[in-house]
Amino acid sequence: MSSLPFLYISSSPIGGRGVFTGAEILAGTTIELAPIILLSATDRKVVHETLLHDYYFQWDGNRAAIALGFGSLYNHSDKANAEFGLDYAFEQIRFVALQDIPAGAEITTNYRTGDLGMALWFEKE
């Protein structure tokens, strides 16, 4: 399993597109194991100047990871219903439900995980 079979992409009230669930997800459930494309620190600087800037994860210091699957499409919320963890050993990002998530709900993460003082690069609504 790399992701739950009932996840889907739809327009998001948060902005753009988001990841939603077609069935209830119980707290503690692994939602997705997203493989990554790992970029060097040099490549990260280049990506930072493109639209992909909004879709990468900081990885192991100055490198960047582009999450495949649904991984780079989860929207931010300060009251996220899921969290992500960087799995360096398997080069993947693990998304886990923090609470029960009802069918039809958008799955969100807090982009500031691990650095609550981090400034967001976009305006929150």
Residue whose tokens read 């988001």: 18
Taken as a whole, the chain contains a residue count of 125
pLDDT higher for 102 or 123? Answer: 102
Is the distance from CB of 12 to CB of 106 less than 8 angstroms?
yes
The encoded tokens of residue 14 equal 């948060």
The residues, any chain, with a CB within 8 Å of residue 50's CB and separated by 6 or more, are none
Full set of structural domains in the chain with CATH: 7-109 (2.170.270.10)
Give the integer Cα–Cα distance in Å for 4 and 7.
6
pLDDT of residue 117: 54
The string of pLDDT tens digits covering residues 53-109 is 677 888 888 898 999 999 989 998 889 999 999 999 999 999 999 999 999 999 999
Helices assigned H by DSSP within the chain: 41-47
Please give the distance of CA 123 from its chain centroid, rounded to a whole number.
18
- Provide the whole-model pTM: 0.86
Q: For residue 78, give the DSSP letter.
A: T
Closest CA to 80 of 18, 4, 35, 7: 18
